[in-house]
Amino acid sequence: MHPIRRKRLTIILFLLAGLAIAVGLTTYALRQNINLFYDPTQIAAGEAPRDARIRAGGMVKQGSVVRSEQDLTVEFQVTDFVSSVTVRYTGILPDLFDEGQGVVALGRLQSDGVFVADQVLAKHDENYMPPEVSDALEKAEAASARVPPMNQ
């Protein structure tokens, strides 16, 4: 083979090898680290998987925050005003966490229906709402608006 062509081939092979490694690593890592979002209604309906790390979000229900006397465990209800899910978390909550505010929690759904979070995210300023939460609220609102006609 012509030396220049051989060089080009080497370069292309290098690039392909790099790309292959990148793609391999990516798909491998992606498979384990994708966290899907579920709103409280979906969780209540049993749509959320119990063996995977997922994200759940909504508004923190007024008066639902209960703290432990011994350690940093806290329980609260996250709601989309149709359904609620109990979230249990041990650790420090973000500064902007409060009742009536939007939150997103990462963790696993236990078999007793309690969502055990290892991370809780709150919005960063008062105008800002996580898009997932505002979507979930809109969806819930639309669903509850549709309910009365069905009852009549």
Partner 1 sequence: MYPELGQFTLILSLLLASLLAVVPLVGAITGRDSLQAFARPLAAGMFVFVALAFAVLTHSFLVDDFSVAYVANNSNSLLPWYYKFSAVWGGHEGSLLLWILMLAGWTLAVAVFSRRLPTVMVSQVLSVMGMVSVGFLLFILVTSNPFDRLLPNIPADGADLNPLLQDFGLIVHPPMLYMGYVGFSVAFAFAIAALINGRLDAAWARWSRPWTTVAWSFLSVGIALGSWWAYYELGWGGWWFWDPVENASLLPWLAGTALMHSLAVTEKRGVFKSWTVLLAIVTFALSLLGTFLVRSGVLTSVHAFASDPTRGAFLLGLLAFTIVSSLTLYAFRAPVVHTRVRYGSLSREIFLLLNNVLLVSSMLLVLVGTLYPLVLDYMGGGRLSIGEPFYNTTFSPIAIAVGLLLGAGIFSRWKKTDGGWLGRRLLWPAAISLIVTAVVMLGLGGFTPWAFAGVLTATWVAVATLADLWDKSSSRHGRWHGLRRQSRSYYGMVLGHLGMAMTMAGATVVSNYGVERDVRMSPGETAELGDLRFTFSEVGERQGPNFVAQYGRFDITRDGKLVATLYPEKRQYRVQRNVMTEAGIDAGLTRDLFVALGERVGDNAWAVRIQYKPLIRWLWLGSLFMAFGGFLAIADRRYRIRERSAGKVPADSGKLEGDVVEAVS
Choice between 11 and 45, CB closer to partner 1: 11
Half-sphere exposure of 34 (CA within 13 A, CB side): 7
Q: Give one DSSP letter per residue of 128-141, joined into a string.
A: ---HHHHHHHHHHH
Site string for partner 1, 71-110 (x = CB under 8 A): xx-x---------------xxxx-xxx------x-x----
Choice between 127 and 151, CB closer to partner 1: 127
128 is an annotated ligand-binding site residue: yes
Q: Does 111 bind partner 1 (CB under 8 A)?
A: no
| φ, ψ of residue 41 in degrees (nearest 5) | -65, -45
Q: Count residues contacting partner 1 (CB under 8 A)?
A: 50
Please classify residue 96 by burial: count the beta carbons closer than 10 Å to its beta carbon, then call 0-12 exposed, 13-18 middle and 19+ buried: middle
CB of 65 to partner 1, least distance (A): 10
| φ, ψ of residue 24 in degrees (nearest 5) | -60, -50
Residues numbered 11 to 70 that lie near partner 1 (CB under 8 A) are: 11, 14-15, 18-19, 21-22, 25-26, 28-30, 32-37, 53, 55, 67, 69-70
89 is an annotated ligand-binding site residue: no
**Is 132 in contact with 57 (CB distance < 8 Å)?**
yes
Non-local (6+) Cβ contacts of 69 within 8 A are: none
- Can you give the binding site for partner 1, defined by CB under 8 A? 3-4, 7, 10-11, 14-15, 18-19, 21-22, 25-26, 28-30, 32-37, 53, 55, 67, 69-72, 74, 90-93, 95-97, 104, 106, 121, 124-132, 135
